[in-house]
Amino acid sequence: MPVVGEEAVEQEPGLVDLIARPGETCWVVDPLDGTANFASGKDRFAMIVCLVHDTVAVGGWILDVPRGTMAVALKGRGVTLDGTPVRRSKPARPPIGFVGYKVKKEFDRQLPPARRRTLGRVSTLNCAGAEYLEVLAGRADFNLYRMTKPWDHAAGTLMVEEAGGAAQRFDGKPYTAAQPINSGLITAIHPQTLTQVRELFEAVRMPLLAGLP
């Protein structure tokens, strides 16, 4: 079965097309998510594996290697974190989430103080796999990404959806692993959180996102 991953696609760019090809089945793999963290000796890195069939993510696995934490999702059968089912819950606090440094800067700079306080702490772990695990564990509530390489996000978005949440592009359409990587992504396990984060994001002018579809 074909394997689609960052290293493989660098050698053979056409491999990525398998994800969007009807009837195809392939593995989408990131053997070391959080490469910069790993290279600098930080303990935030993960392995991500997703099985895509007929353009749809049907299985996902994320392993936090340093901590041994493992999430598994099968389409239509839910998601577990270290064997315990993950279920949707509404945060009892301003939503905490993960965004890139530039987006965080614009949130802090442009949002009026009262509106900024409706959003909790935003940060980045520089490792999408670890960030999805934090959301599944309930220690964070949403993720927002500009770039959406499938080996970083196909498994995690399936997990969020199997927990009862949603994953949307910046234009409001549902996320798919086959979408253009500059279509953006917002995920949250609770729909109210997704709506709130989207409204705040749309209220901020983001020059760095100009020209996105």
| CA atoms of 45 and 200, how far apart (whole Å) | 29
Q: What is the pLDDT of residue 211?
A: 45
Domain 3-85: CATH architecture, name and number where available? 2-Layer Sandwich (3.30)
Q: Is the pLDDT of residue 90 over 90?
A: no
Rounded alpha-carbon distances, angstroms, from residue 18 to 15, 21, 82, 148, 202: 6, 5, 31, 16, 33
Sheet containing strand 69-74, edge to edge, reads 3-5, 25-33, 46-53, 56-64, 69-74, 79-81, 84-85
Euclidean distance between CA atoms 139 and 98, whole angstroms: 11
Mean pLDDT calculated for residue range 197-211: 77
The string of pLDDT tens digits covering residues 11-66 is 888 888 999 999 999 999 999 999 999 999 999 999 999 999 999 999 999 999 99
What fold is seen in the domain 97-209? D-Maltodextrin-Binding Protein; domain 2 (3.40.190)
What is the secondary structure of 140-176 as a DSSP string? --EEEES---HHHHHHHHHHHHHTT-EEE-TTSSBP-
Q: What is the pLDDT of residues 114-158, one digit of tens each?
A: 999 999 999 999 999 999 999 999 999 999 999 999 999 999 999
- Residue 40 is classified by DSSP as T
SS3 123: strand
pTM metric for this prediction: 0.94
Structure tokens at 178: 């086959």
Mean pLDDT for the chain overall: 92
| 50-77 exposure pattern, b = at least 16 Cβ within 10 A, e = fewer | bbbeeeebbbbbbbbbeeebbbbbebee
The encoded tokens of residue 165 equal 């949440």
- Which residue ranges make up each domain of the chain? 3-85, 97-209
